[in-house]
Copies of this chain bind each other. A is one copy, B any other.
């Protein structure tokens, strides 16, 4: 299949590009280095510098004998996107091309505007490029579990059947997110759902939880193919920060009470999920929503896991609660459905002690590169 991967330089994008190419698809990887630029601007570079996307593709070709087409351009630019669709005529589009950081989106007006314009315009352009030049293509869009927020009822898989005054209606599950970044994904889903109904598009919206892991079948072939590992407060996830803090010998910083609970998954499972979505296309006029995670953890549980494994490795890990820079419930109900991808065939890789240990070992390899100034919160909500 001709698979267009937007945001192909990202933490998920690059492993997806390699995975899809390894599976024999004709892959076009698109990126404009927005995240690299924002990371540099905010002094939040990844632990290990990555070669540029052309070079990554070159290394991958030499190692795996698989060619990948690379296009450097801005998915928020309609001319660029339309020309790309016209030329490549994708059968599937994997749309990761969004500013991916909650904290970045909360820094101020400039960062908010950049997040808002980039993310909404990219999605709008995907929709209209598909309508015009590839109406049958399957759009696989990366949403986020963060769209749902932390409601006091169970989170269902995309939709909610509501009984009200003796009548019933199925709705998109109501969403309210905790950062502007997550809110742009709420808007993306609203917009996609409208155009699915109006123009019969085929869309899978993957509500993904935070992803961890540095190892995939392809990235393990050569260290220059490593996924981007951000451990800072802006582009890093809580798992990555904890791993780096454990290795650097500084306390794991829990924001507030640490009861913040989310659904997590291994990077290997992201690749499986996208592949499973690709292999089971949706009908014209259908929006399929899948909750993409395998296990729920609270921040305290994650800290405990990293401490337990780290201590066994002699890292002598401390845990410290600090003032929460975010506006978010620190103790809340959380129970989210996630059976759709299992039904499609997902074989989860859980966060075992071995997995945590291997991530810690990977970070230890690059211990000298850790910049402790990147780890503590630099962005406060309002």
List residues of chain A with CB under 8 Å of any chain B CB: 78, 106, 109, 112-113, 116, 120, 124, 128, 131-132, 151-154, 160, 162-165, 167-169, 171-172, 174-177, 179-180, 183, 186-187, 190-191, 193-194, 197-200, 327, 333, 381-382
Contacts and interface: CB of A to CB of B under 8 A. Distances in A.
Contacts of A194: 176-177, 180, 183
A153 B152 CA distance: 22
Given A124-B116, A169-B151, A187 B180 contact: no
A176 B179 CA distance: 22
9 contacts: A78-B113, A106-B198, A112-B124, A113-B124, A151-B171, A171-B174, A177-B194, A180-B198, A187-B191
A172 B162 contact: no
Nearest to A381: B198
A163 B169 CA distance: 13
B172 A176 contact: yes
Nearest to A129: B109
**This protein's copies in its complex:** 2
Contact of A190 (B160, B164, B190): B190
Contacts of A131: 109
Closest 4 CB pairs of A and B: A171-B174, A153-B164, A183-B194, A153-B167
Nearest to A175: B190
A149 to B, nearest CB: 10
Given A120-B120, A164-B160, A198-B327, A176 B193 contact: yes
A128 B113 contact: yes
B187 A333 contact: no
Interface centre among A167, A172, A174, A175, by most chain B C-beta atoms within 10 angstroms, is A174
Contacts of A186: 190
Interface centre among A152, A162, A172, A200, by most chain B C-beta atoms within 10 angstroms, is A162
Contacts of A187: 187, 190-191
A276 to B, nearest CB: 27
Contacts of A160: 162, 164, 174
Nearest to A128: B109
Contacts of A382: 198-200
Nearest to A187: B187
A276 B187 CA distance: 30
B176 A153 contact: no
B171 A176 contact: yes
A167 B198 contact: no
Contacts of A109: 78, 128, 131-132
Given A153-B164, A179-B198, 11 more contacts: A106-B198, A109-B131, A153-B169, A160-B174, A162-B174, A172-B176, A176-B193, A190-B190, A197-B327, A198-B381, A198-B382
Contacts of A179: 198
Nearest to A78: B113
A191 B199 contact: no
A146 to B, nearest CB: 12
A168 B197 contact: no
Nearest to A172: B174
Contacts of A172: 174, 176
A167 B190 contact: no
Contacts of A183: 190-191, 194
Contacts of A167: 152-154, 333
